[in-house]
Structure formats: C-alpha cells, structure tokens
Chain A
C-alpha cells in the first residue's frame, strides 16, 4: 500500500474547491435550518441555479464572469421567493417537501432537451473558464508545498472560493449577533410568540431563505469554477451531504459548517483511498467497484449516529441546539 500517497491525496481535500463549495452551501443551510428553523431540503437546487446561471451567462450571452455570478445570485433570490411565498406560512415540514420537489424539478428542467440550446441538456456545460482565468492576478507557475502544490489557475479558484466563504461566514456572524438574528432565533423557537411581539415573521423567514439561498448559489459557482456543470451533480444526495456537514459541524454555529465540510471531505477522501486498497490487498472481501460505494454507506451511518448521539454537532451548544421542535 502506498500510504504516503494516500495521505497526500487525503490532505489535498482540505482546500479543494469541492470542500470550499460544500462549506459555503453548508453555511447557507445553517442560516436556514440552524438559525431560522427552515427545513430546506433543496440546497442542490440553489447550487444548480448558481452553476447554470454562471455558465449560461458566459456561454450563451458572452457576459463576463462576475456578471455570471450575479445572475446566479439573482436566480437563487427569485427561486427563494417563489418557494417561500406558498410555503413559509405553513408548517416547517411542508417546506421540506416542497423544497426537495422544487430542486428536483429544476434539475430535470436543466436535463430536458427543451432548453438544450442553453443547458446542453444531459451533457452539461463546460469551457466557460476564459473570462474567470483572464482575471487571475497570480503569475503562471507552480506554488505551494507538500500535498498542496497547484498551478496559478487552481490557486485562483481556491482563493476566490475562500474569499466567498469568508464573506459568507462574516455575514452570518454579523447577522446572528445582531437583533435581527435574535428575532430569527426567536422564530425558530416559536413563531407565534414572535408574531405577538409585533415582528413580521413571514418577512424574516423570507429574508433568511433568500440569504441562505444566495450562499447556496455561490457554492454552486465555486463548485463549477474549476470544472464543468453536469446536471447529474445536483441530485438530492448532494443536498443530503450538505445536511450531513451542517449537522456534523453544528447547525447553529458560525464555523461549524466550515469545519464540518473539511472533516466530511477528508474522511470521504480517506475512505476512498483506504477501502479500495484494503479490497486490493484482499483484507476486505469486496471488489473495487463495491469499495467505491461502501463509503456512502458510511456517510449514512455517520449521519444517523450524529443525529442520535450528538444532535448539536461538534461545535454546537447542547443546550442551545438540539433539533428544531
């Protein structure tokens, strides 16, 4: 077994664009679920809007990369409003049902041949990198050390992702220490009580849905930046990975989702390296293909264990957040 290679492989995931993208989405979901108590199971939909908004703006309309990001953000705001108007007045569980369905509808719309001209249907979109790379201030070359050796393009994606993540974290931290965050946490507890104190509960929930949704779209952009937009990525399992990350780190915490994402992807990468190696060495009685699937079973088991034994996550305050009642 190439243990050093496996370690290096695993360590590279700490700052991979995927990890950063999931972290941003998880921060958004923590606004939804952790602070506002909104059961959003449609994060994949928000991410798809960010990614497609970015790619289509560049490929079909020839707009610059930053305009593509704005389009993605705008699309997620519209999506949040459309989702929120009928469902935010209802109980939390209805939002869960509607969001999971809406995200699937979006994915299927992106996959269908109907909009092939813009979405390239099931084949997805690629080759939209020029504009973003042209804005790269880093001179060409290889930088970094150890497992983190990347060229200027890879670093540009990572740095840009980090900046977006930092902004998201800063916004959440500022909001949640303010009276606005206090109202939101009050709504999580009992929205009728907050209503009786003269707060427009619907407006607060809508604002929270929009903020978390825009973070989701930004995550979609970062997810799409280094590679391509493939409709098959935005399936419900993406949403559930983000839920796992949020619950792992602590839903009502600022940094929990970020650390949760790093832990999640490092473990996923480690399993991805270790299990096939064990299978190859004949220690595990499974084939290589089975080994690839096994780690997803571990994710499911891990999610159950967190929910049962540590519902507040790694960073959460047991008193403050168990699951939303």
Chain B
C-alpha cells in the first residue's frame, strides 16, 4: 500500500516539475530591470562576471543574468533554441552581415550609443546598414605566422628579412635543413583538420584584396575569383611540404600545445587568442619567445596582418523600452566608462576596438604585436564573416583537405569553391 502512495506522489511531482519549466523571463517591473545576456566567449566568463558585479554596484536597480555558451557554431544553434523557447535574451552576439540578415527584426538600433561613436574606424563595417548600427564590437583580434624567436636566433635568421613569399620559402628551407641541430621536428605545424584555420583564416588573407578588404563587399558579391589564388596555393604548399605529418589529422591542440608551445616547430599560423593556451604550458615562452610575422601576399601587401572583430554585441528589439535602454547603458558602461575600460583592458586582456584606451597597458605579447601592427595601419581586413554560410569551412576547408591529400588539383579546388559560392548566392 505504501508503495502505491509513493508512486502516486512521484507522478504528481513529475507533473509539477514539467509544468514548472515554463515560467521565468526577463523584463522590467517597478523600476527594477532584468537584462539577460547570452554570450559566446567562454574564455572570459569569470572576468565578465566580475565586470557585471562592478556594474551592479553602480546600478543597483539592474539585474544582469549572464549565460555563456561557447565555441563557434554551437553558439548559433544555442541562440536559436533560446529564442525558440520563448525566453529571449536582451543582449546577444552576432558575427557579421549574415547574422545581421538572419536576425533582422530582432536587432535594436544602437546608433545612439556612445560606444558606437567611439568604435574604431572600420570595426562597424559588418554590422551597419545604411547609417544604422546594429552591433558593437567585442574587441579586435589579429593573426599571422607565430614564430619561435629562440629557434630563429639559433638558426641566425632575422625575421624582419622576410619580405616576400620567396623569402618565406627560403627561410623554411633553411630551417628545414638545420632542424636536427635546432631540435625541431619540422618547420611548420599545419592543422588541415581544423577547417577554420585553412578555410577561414588562411583564405581570408588571399581573398580579402579582391573584395577591397571590406566584409560587406564580400557578403554582397555574387562570385569569388581567386585573384591571388596562385599565392594562396604557394602558401598552402609551403606549409604542407615542411609540416609535421600527417596534416590531415592534426588538430588545434596538437598544433599549438603539443608542437609549438613545446618548441617542436618554428612557425604556426595562429592569432592572439592562443596566448592563454601557451601561458598555461609555459609562461616564459609566451612572454619572451613568441613573435608575429605577416603572411606575405606577392603583388599586394607583404607586411600586414589580418585584424578584425570576431563578434559583436547586439540588443534584442523585442524587449520593452526600459530593458533596451538598460542593455544599451550596460554596453556603453563596459566599453566607454573609465571603470569598464580598465576591466576590458586588464582583466579581459582585449585588444580594444574603441577609442580612448591606454594601449601601452596591453599585457600579452602577441596582442601587443597585433596592436602595434594596427597602429601602423599595416592590416588586412577580415572578410570571412561575409562568405556564404558554411562555404569557408565546409567547402573550401574540405577542399583544402582533399588538395593536401593529393585527391584534388588546385584548379579543381578553385572551380569547386567558385561554383559553390555562385550557387549559394544565386538563391
């Protein structure tokens, strides 16, 4: 008899549990405002929580709930489910023109914020339509060829002497010859498995010129022509030839942690985001031993590195006016108030995308180099957010895997990628 009661209680409990899932949400009542933030950057979760608690001290009426879901495509999927479930966040992230198009109607106009006025020139290109700004940049990131300073010194190579792809090839050949005495396994670690490294970042270097380095042009373009395709091919060939093999199964962790951080290779193509990873393995190595080289494009720029904005903050226009106002105020406070700025610079360790920062305080060494390139205006614009959806990784990235395995010729690769672009944009 007792058992029966237990089961009845349990089923009742289950019914309650099921029905309890559907209440809670954000909004404003009685002067108190709740702002739900749904963001992608896992790396600065704790520091962001710190920023929120500081904001709370100045604005006791505003409650900010942060949810973090990390990592490229997962964020997009999670955000869609979040919207579908009915509990829409007030602040979320968009990546560029495609997101701008997809989320249109759920994006508030941010043109009147201080942050939009302070954003560095060019950083708003991907999220502006006409004169209306829909997103505010997180930060700036840059990448290029990271090199091991120690290895270069031992080999007697001056990194500043690399001024063309021929120079780069010579240096690679020289390092390859001396690899036993330098104690390296190979010159490069080329992670062909990571389609974002090849299909998005490498390709960006060689496709950016033909779109005038402007992400919106890439997004609007019906075709892609591989104007610097030969240079792109040489760059891929060079890395494939002098890399630790097999490249087709090499992932990010092997490239950055196992090989580069342990001094097993001389060069890798990565950006400032690897700093924390390298610091986790060897603090001194990160501080003293990592340099940044541009990827030379013969016939275009040979001394510049790609710098761009990885993600933007956006505000949900479906929310009520109070919540939108609070959300904008929070973003302004984070990016333009002196307290916010100091957290962005010192705790987030961001390369700021806004005016008025004391850049000499940037702490990590790769970020410092990226920033100095940006200061000298030796940059190439990021345009891969303007590729057709999935094109960079699933088409180009996969084709590069076929090319490096010898299953596809370079001409066929260019054809296939051009056709895929055309079909996608034709719709």
Asked whether A and B interact, the reply is no
Interface residues of B (CB under 8 A from A): none
